[in-house]
């Protein structure tokens, strides 16, 4: 992703989730993933996809079971 695409995606996510703590950091090395942070905590990666001239971005957010709260009683 270009710096312009990163800035635009960051602004979109901040607006969508009403949260200015969302930060998209450029990759630390070539071909490394573009990472999304909430403050200092890594939360997801974002990938750019181009297919037949159409561009889209995919956010992949993994949640570890150990990070989930205990099962709520229904």
Q: Which sequence spans correspond to the domains of the chain?
A: 3-63
* pLDDT for residue 31: 85
* pLDDT for residue 14: 98
The answer to whether 48 and 8 have CB atoms below 8 angstroms apart is no
* pLDDT for residue 74: 63
* pLDDT for residue 47: 94
Which residues partner with 40 through β-bridges? none
33: exposed, middle or buried (Cβ count in 10 Å: 0-12, 13-18, 19+): middle
Q: Looking at residue 14, what DSSP letter applies?
A: H
d(CA 30, CA 32): 6
pLDDT tens-digit map of 23-69: 999 988 888 899 999 999 999 999 999 999 999 999 999 999 998 98
What is the phi/psi pair of residue 6, to 5°?
A: -60, -45
Q: What is the pTM of this model?
A: 0.84
């Amino acid at each position: 992703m270009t710096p312009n695409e990163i800035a635009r995606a960051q602004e979109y996510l901040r607006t969508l989730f009403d949260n200015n703590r969302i930060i998209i950091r450029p990759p630390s090395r070539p071909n490394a993933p573009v990472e999304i942070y909430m403050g200092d905590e890594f939360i997801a990666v974002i990938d750019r996809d181009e297919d037949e001239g159409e561009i889209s971005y995919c956010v992949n957010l993994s949640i570890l079971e150990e990070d989930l709260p205990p099962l709520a009683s229904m």
